[in-house]
Structure 1
Amino acid sequence: MLMLTSGSTGNAKAVCLLHQNILAALLGKSSMRQLPSDRPLPNWIGPDHVASLVEVHMQALFFNVDQVHVQSADVLSRPRLFLDLLSIHRASRSFAPNSFLAKLISAIRTDNNEQSLYQWDLSNLTDIVSGGKANDVQTCVSITELLASYGAPQNVLTIGFGMTETCAGAIYNTQCPKNDRANGRLFASLGKCIPRVEMRITKDPDEETGNVVLQDAGKPGNLEVRGAVVFRGYYRHEKDTAEAFTRDGWFRTGDTGVIDLTGNLSLCGRIKDIVNINGVKVGGAELQTSLETAVGSQVSRLVGFASWAGHTEQVSIAYIPKRWPMKTEDVVNINDKLAKVCLLSTRSRPLVFALRDESILPKSSVGKISRAKMKSLLETGSFADHIEYHQSAIESYRLKQISLPMTEEAARLLEDFASVLEIRPDKIGVDTPFYDFGITSIDIVRLKRRVDQRLSIDIPMVTLISSPTVRALASALDYSPLQNGDSVAKEYDPVVKFRSTGSKTPL
């Protein structure tokens, strides 16, 4: 079987998974938590994701239990639907990443006055598997308390680590958040390997011999795994396959971690320069190139780096302008170009700010900027004044430039934007980009679902992301706010023609 990776290093690669890999994974996962034989598995993750395929779909087939699939957009736009599904179908297991769990908690707290009306029964639930991104312990505690209040066990949350190359989860923490709180962790441990899988922590290979050097116990290093669930290679990518494995056959995960004295794994970061936002992985070098291309000669220098923002990473961008002080129009223009690149690449809004000069940048002797030090400076507040200046300039400009909708359809689109962003309609105009209001990937899905349902169409996600204002989206949908008269959106055609002629069997 071929399964595509997320393309974290630029282009997606096809992972070759054998039947024996999948079977070993299913048996190994089941040994961590036994599935009841008469309880279905609900799933809302897309079937192109390895967690959907192996953690839910194939497990249900292998153990002969029912499975319930719903569209991702439905659950993302209404997080409480996830609990409805678990309760109605008396589910035993499902999957949800940390970012969604945080969104679910927020949705329940927002409806605090109505919480007593919920009648969920989660007594059949054995575990919620969560992975794909670091799980902060506070979210783990909150979601455990929430689920337990409706009958789930106190250890219902299972934190996992895995990749497409390991048939999804291969390492699990089944004692979250109890052990993590006891050890004072900020992020949950990933636990221990499933049967027939091993992990080790190594130092960087010896420069002269290339031999592997094991890291001292309890110290961070490169995480490597091997075992029955690990793939054999990338399809038609011999070079990448060779680079992915050590001389003695261990798979380089690309992560750095530490194994404590009890044998539990915790991640420290990544070897490769990758930004991971809610499981969407983007190569840092590729993103940097795209950002520099977008603003061209408008800036003297620019650096994009990952920083922590609540429940996931975010792209942060610092740049040195050609002139200081900057014109407000230039601040907005540069911000919009950088934001559009990030939305298309990561489906997330970046944190953008300008620096007066390069003196504050952490540079090496050869002038290379340290992304790790930029992250540290940001998170300790060293850039707070620069960020406030940047955001104030944009907010002031947007308020002065607010334009009212000229047609009824544009007015309805504006109401859609305001409802999803949870702001007053008079705070947004037809030319105000939605990313100014901290929109998340989940919000974009909610916006798409709202507009889709109202207009009875299916807007391509790329159209929505590349049209971040009411005016732009109206134009893309053929609802131009500058013209009078009714206009109908183009009819959606689900058939994509690859090739219309040929003698062989299609696909």
Structure 2
Amino acid sequence: MGDWDTIPDLVRWSAERYATAEAVVEGRSRVSYGELGARVERAAAACIASGVEVGDRVGVWAPNSLDWIVAALGAVTAGAVLVPLNTRFKGAEAADVLARSGARLLFVTGTFLGASYVASLRRAAGEGPGAGPLPGLPELERVVILSGDAPAGFCTWKDFLAGGEGVGETEVRRRAGAVTGSSLSDIIFTSGTTGRPKGAMITHEQTLTAYDIWADLAGLRSSDRYLIVNPFFHTFGYKAGVIACLTRGATMIPQPVFNVDTALANMAAERVSVLPGPPTLHQSLLDHPARDAHDLSALRLVVTGAAVVPLRLVERLREELGVGTVLTAYGLSEASGIVTMCRRGDDLALIASTSGRAIPGTEVKLAEDGEVLVRGFNVMRGYYEDEAATAEAITEDGWLRTGDVGVLDGAGNLRITDRLKDMYIVGGFNAYPAEIEQLLGLHRDVADVAVIGIPDARLGEVGKAFVVRRPGSVVTADDLIAWARREMANYKVPRVVEFVSELPRNASGKVVKGELRVGDRDRG
């Protein structure tokens, strides 16, 4: 680990060690590590000038960008606790997280994907007892618009930064020095695939230890150019992206939204060497008809993870793109985003069929019902202001209940078989959707698949598969069901198949089964 105990230490250290190296590339903007350090300190000064104190919560609701990096790291350098907001949130969802976290300051984008975040927030929190820019959020004192003009009561990014000009470097360094390794660095609100999001509290020390390990196991280098498509509001984007790059001096290339054509263009133009992301991201790159028109030869490292990672995907990344290192990993917000990871040199079949072994400083075991339990430095300090949920999630002797079902082999490699709550029972047999999805994914015409349990008068529940066909495929539901009967036990065979254009996924690439269930009920 480098000579840093906190994220402000890391920012200053990387600015000095990699001063002239490219830190962030965004369009025509090329910012060195030295310049990034200066911008972060300027943003920290502005936060201090605006009244942010150590421990205050500061929200960021914006897509991946240089300004997101600067605003977030600036707030943390000023001693604040970062609260990243999901860019897919609607106004009411964002207002709920801001209210529950008690955020005093918010950085927000203007318009993204055709939606005005400010307008949606005003609709959700424009009325209430407060006197600030959003009366429905009385603790929120200031809202800064990162891009575009600011309406009355709000502040532009330029004006916000100008407000910090009276705060000197000495004060910024003093404030950064008030932060310790045990201070909270962020509150990551869970994706909410199984209910209302809860805020996992993570410290500076946990974050830095975890992503120094991640960078070490992945083999991240200072010469790497890292296309960060994973959203910054999620641990995979912010920590395995921004924080990991800071520890090694790698170049960050943020992409606001995943678009295959844009990704291919970026990869070729910027000689991208590192591209982590969910399996669907890499699958879409491999299958894109214009892929061969782009020079992707610099790509050397892919880190992915999900319950299902097809072996063929790992093989194609190695064979067709010449990717030297393909690794799988498993984590969750409540464990600082990382629990297990494959190691370089592992067999391809092991990489595809497992999520690797526990990272150093972490223990993994299975409960009697197969639930994966985790204990170690990476386990959250608890859910923010939710003692009941914390007690339910963490045992008295420190084991985190992940809610995932898994299998451990003799060497400690973990294979996630399902979410505990996704399991359904067919005529007395436990059916695990991830296992069935993995089998269905072997069919040559299946590009993506998700399985849920639906009511059945005779068997109690049966499986229903939502399938995305490969381009040009005309496979039918009857074809797939007949094939499944030949390939798996009868109770596992889906009784219903519905073809869809895409599956609903959260930021970490996990299918949001709740949306499939709700949609299924609506159609029923």
**TM-score of the two chains, using structure 2 as the length reference:** 0.49
**Does the C-alpha gap of structure 1 residues 372 and 192 become closer, same or farther in structure 2, counting only changes over 3 Å?**
farther
Determine helix, strand or coil for the equivalent of 1:6: coil
CA RMSD between the two structures = 4.0
Of 36-45 and 49-58, more deviation after overlay is shown by 36-45
Residues 10-409 of structure 1 mapped to structure 2, 5 A cutoff:
10-72=195-257, 75-76=258-259, 79-107=260-288, 111=289, 117-122=293-298, 125-148=299-322, 152-153=323-324, 156-174=325-343, 178-180=347-349, 187-204=352-369, 221-273=370-422, 308=437, 310=441, 312-314=448-450, 316=452, 361-363=458-460, 369=461, 379-380=484-485, 387=496
Q: Is the 8 Å Cα contact of residues 5 and 164 (structure 1) preserved in structure 2?
A: yes
Q: Is the 8 Å Cα contact of residues 14 and 235 (structure 1) preserved in structure 2?
A: yes
Determine helix, strand or coil for the equivalent of 1:103: helix
- State the distance in 1 between where 2:340 and 2:413 align: 9
Determine helix, strand or coil for the equivalent of 1:71: coil
- State the distance in 2 between where 1:198 and 1:129 align: 21
Determine helix, strand or coil for the equivalent of 2:421: coil
Identical columns (%): 23
Structure 2: segments with no counterpart, 5+ residues: 1-185, 426-432, 442-446, 466-479, 506-514, 520-524
- State the distance in 2 between where 1:138 and 1:177 align: 16
Code of the aligned partner of 1:55 = A
| 1:11, distance to aligned residue in structure 2 (A) | 0.4
CA deviations on 1:5-64 (whole Å, 9 max, x unpaired) are 011221001110111110111121122133221323211122211100111011122333
Q: When you count strand as a share of all residues, which structure comes out higher?
A: 2
CA deviations on 1:324-372 (whole Å, 9 max, x unpaired) are xxxxxxxxxxxxxxxxxxxxxxxxxxxxxxxxxx65x313xxxxx4669
CA deviations on 1:391-420 (whole Å, 9 max, x unpaired) are 8xxxxxxxxxxxxxxxxxxxxxxxxxxxxx
Match of 1:280 in 2: none
**Does the C-alpha gap of structure 1 residues 317 and 67 become closer, same or farther in structure 2, counting only changes over 3 Å?**
same
Q: Is the 8 Å Cα contact of residues 96 and 129 (structure 1) preserved in structure 2?
A: yes
Structure 1: segments with no counterpart, 5+ residues: 205-220, 276-283, 285-304, 320-357, 364-368, 392-436, 444-461, 467-507
- State the distance in 1 between where 2:229 and 2:238 align: 11
CA deviations on 1:240-265 (whole Å, 9 max, x unpaired) are 11111123211111112222122211
**Does the C-alpha gap of structure 1 residues 315 and 193 become closer, same or farther in structure 2, counting only changes over 3 Å?**
closer
Match of 1:440 in 2: 502
| 1:175, distance to aligned residue in structure 2 (A) | 5.0
**Does the C-alpha gap of structure 1 residues 132 and 52 become closer, same or farther in structure 2, counting only changes over 3 Å?**
farther
Determine helix, strand or coil for the equivalent of 1:168: coil
- State the distance in 2 between where 1:386 and 1:245 align: 38
CA deviations on 1:146-177 (whole Å, 9 max, x unpaired) are 220xxx31xx2110100111222331123588
- Count of aligned residue pairs for this structure pair: 292
Match of 1:494 in 2: none
Q: Is the 8 Å Cα contact of residues 188 and 266 (structure 1) preserved in structure 2?
A: yes
- State the distance in 2 between where 1:99 and 1:380 align: 26
- State the distance in 2 between where 1:178 and 1:80 align: 31
- State the distance in 2 between where 1:95 and 1:385 align: 32
- State the distance in 2 between where 1:30 and 1:223 align: 24
Code of the aligned partner of 1:192 = R
Q: Is the 8 Å Cα contact of residues 40 and 68 (structure 1) preserved in structure 2?
A: yes
Determine helix, strand or coil for the equivalent of 1:140: helix
- State the distance in 2 between where 1:386 and 1:372 align: 6
